Amino acid sequence: MPERVTGMQRWEGQVLGVEVDYFTAELVPLDHEGPTVHADFDRSLVAESDRELLAPGAPFYCNVRTVIGDGGQPIRTSTLAMRRLGIWSQQVLDEALRAARERAQALERFSD
């Protein structure tokens, strides 16, 4: 019998502080009811290529799954993935500013 995932919970996190071996984060549930929590994570849980992103304010995702193994034993697994924000070119920023100004001018005719 193949393994199957029976449950998954997802959180969006924000790094609050970074120490030598661990970082502290605030976690907000994305797909379930629950409180916002603070937790400490070992830095080794983050991919080595992403550890340079660990800084106060850095966003990341935390997923926890329950996998039922061959023998029926439930196994909890978790993944931490740093969220990478896109890089905006000056051309894209200029176009967004131009479009915003046009919309603002169009809305001015509705104001007193």
- We report the CATH number of the domain holding residue 67 as 2.40.50.140
Task: Answer whether residue 81 is part of any domain.
Answer: yes
Q: How many structural domains compose the chain?
A: 1
Task: Answer whether residue 108 is part of any domain.
Answer: no
Task: Answer whether residue 109 is part of any domain.
Answer: no
Task: Answer whether residue 93 is part of any domain.
Answer: no
Task: Answer whether residue 107 is part of any domain.
Answer: no
Task: Answer whether residue 92 is part of any domain.
Answer: no
Q: What is the mean pLDDT of the chain?
A: 88
Range of the domain at 78: 4-86
| pLDDT score, position 1 | 53
Q: In what order do the strands lie in the sheet with 59-68?
A: 37-42, 22-29, 4-18, 59-68, 74-82
Higher pLDDT, 89 or 28: 28
Q: What is the dihedral of CA 50, 48, 63, 24, to 10 degrees?
A: -80
Q: Decide if 30 contacts 11 (C-beta within 8 A).
A: yes
Task: Answer whether residue 91 is part of any domain.
Answer: no
Task: Answer whether residue 38 is part of any domain.
Answer: yes
Distance from C-alpha of 112 to C-alpha of 102, rounded to nearest angstrom: 18
- What amino acid occupies position 62? C
Which range is least confidently modeled, 27-31, 58-62, 70-74, 99-103?
70-74
